[in-house]
Structure formats: C-alpha cells, structure tokens
Amino acid sequence: MPAPVCLVTGVGSDTGTGAEIARRFAVGGYQVAMLARGAKSLKELEQSITGTKAYPCDVANLDKLVSTIAKVKKQLGPPRIVVHNAQRSSRGSLLKLDPEELEKNFRVNTTALLYLARETIPDMLEAGRGSIMVTGNISATRGKAEWGFFASTKASQRILAEAIAREYGPQGIHVAYFIIDAMIDNPLTRPVLAPDKPDDFFAKPNILAEEIFKIAHQNPSAWSFRVELRPSGENW
C-alpha cells in the first residue's frame, strides 16, 4: 500500500516553518507534496528531504493551484492531510497602502484555503477521513495599527476554517486553526528583526511542525480546532 499523501503550501527556505512541516510529515511516513513559488529552493528541499516532491506553484494563481493539486493526485494520490502554510502579509497605513494589496492578501490567505478544501475534501470524504491544518496568526483575533490588511484576511481565514470544520467534521474531516502568537526563529530574519532578543522570545519552526503533526493525528473523540501556540517569552 502506498504511503499517505500530505500536501503543504508555503514551503520556503530550508530553515522556515514550511520546510520543517514537510520534513516532519516525511519522517512520519507521508509522501509530501511541497508547494511554493520558488522552484529552485523547492528542488533543493526535494533532494535533501526523502519522501518529498516539489511542485512550484504560487497559490495566488488559483487556476495554477487547481492544476497543481490535480497533478499531485495523479502522481502521488489524493492528499489525506493538507497544511495551508502559505501567507501574504502587507504592513502599512490604511491610507497609504494600495487597496489592491488587500485583495492580494485575501487571495493567498483565504481564497487559496477555499480552493484547497474544494479540491481535496471530496477525496477525503470518499476515504472516510482527512485533515486540513491551517497555520494562522494572532492577527486573526484582533485589529492592530498598520496590520489591517493582513489581520482582516487572517480573520476571514479563521472563520472560513471554522465553517469548513463545522460542515465536514461530522463527516470525518478534521480541520484545525493554529494561532501562532510569536516571532518565528529564522536565521535569515532574526538578526534583522530582533537581534537582541533571547531564545525564549522565538518560536522554533521544528517545534511548530511537531505540534501541527500531533494535532493532525488526534483521535476523533477529542479533536482540537483553535490551537494557540506561543513561546514562553512572549508577552500576551
């Protein structure tokens, strides 16, 4: 019997959360379809993580997203687990940002989730099980100055995920939304954004990936939907 399939969007650099999610599910016995815009970095990850396959795809291109999911199904099989980790974030004053940026944020954060669900849930229903994991942000719960475009689209993403969970949970589809209240530890961004912060200020990508893997495999008698994750040093 072939290994089950996990589809992960937003698989960026080797040190990012997306790559760690792909790595954890591959170690856990899945064939992992990795989706991201960067073809070169994806190919490098495919070569370094056994059990993964690169599928270059900008999830904002909805037609491309649909065709890529079809390609995954044909080559690997229908995904048992989907992890929507891709995101777009625009920061700035509401009076200065181009309104088109709101639409671009919405397409990656929310509309892509809808398309992922529509293209994978029918196969999950036929199999009698499946999981959709969505990596969100604390911005999904509150508005904040200069984060209006990002926060509003993450809030809509959370509500859409909950609607999917309520509609398809009774039919065996587990949907969970991860509210990540943290700056993620990444050697590419940490020296620039928070060079003086101690380790306990950051969330570790591999630990986030481990939590997502655990929630994706919860027993149906005790499913979680809203999962908040933050490092001990986060002031909340």
User: Phi/psi zone of residue 226: left (φ > 0), alpha (ψ -120 to 50 degrees), beta?
Assistant: beta
Distance between the two ends of the chain, CA-based, in angstroms? 46
Least confident stretch, 78-82, 136-140, 223-227: 136-140
CB-based contact 216:174 (threshold 8 Å) = yes
Cα–Cα distance measured from residue 122 to residue 109, given in angstroms and rounded to the nearest whole number: 22
Tell me, what's the pLDDT at 118? 98
Q: Show Cβ contacts of residue 13 under 8 Å, excluding neighbours closer than 6 positions.
A: 19, 41, 186, 188
Tell me, what's the pLDDT at 209? 98
Tell me, what's the pLDDT at 9? 98
CATH number belonging to domain 5-229: 3.40.50.720
Give the tens place of pLDDT for each residue, 151-169: 899 999 999 999 999 999 9
Tell me, what's the pLDDT at 91? 86
What is the arithmetic mean of pLDDT over 140-149?
Answer: 85
Mean pLDDT value across the chain: 93
Tell me, what's the pLDDT at 143? 85
- How would you label 94-113 residue by residue, b for 16+ Cβ within 10 Å and e otherwise? eeebeeebbeebbbbbbbbb
What does residue 33 show for φ and ψ, rounded to 5 degrees? -90, 115
Strand ranges for the chain from DSSP E: 5-9, 31-36, 52-56, 79-84, 130-137, 173-180, 183-184, 202-203, 226-229
Least confident stretch, 74-83, 93-102, 156-165, 181-190: 181-190
Question: Which residue shows structure tokens 């995954």?
Answer: 72
What is the arithmetic mean of pLDDT over 18-24?
Answer: 97
- For residue 13, name the pLDDT band (cuts at 50, 70, 90): confident
Give the tens place of pLDDT for each residue, 48-78: 999 999 999 999 999 999 999 999 999 999 9
What is the arithmetic mean of pLDDT over 73-84?
Answer: 98
Domain ranges of the chain: 5-229
DSSP codes of every residue in 57-101? --TTSHHHHHHHHHHHHHHT--EEEEEE-------S-TTTS-HHH
Least confident stretch, 5-9, 33-37, 165-169, 190-194: 190-194
Q: Which contiguous run of DSSP H or E holds residue 41?
A: helix 39-48
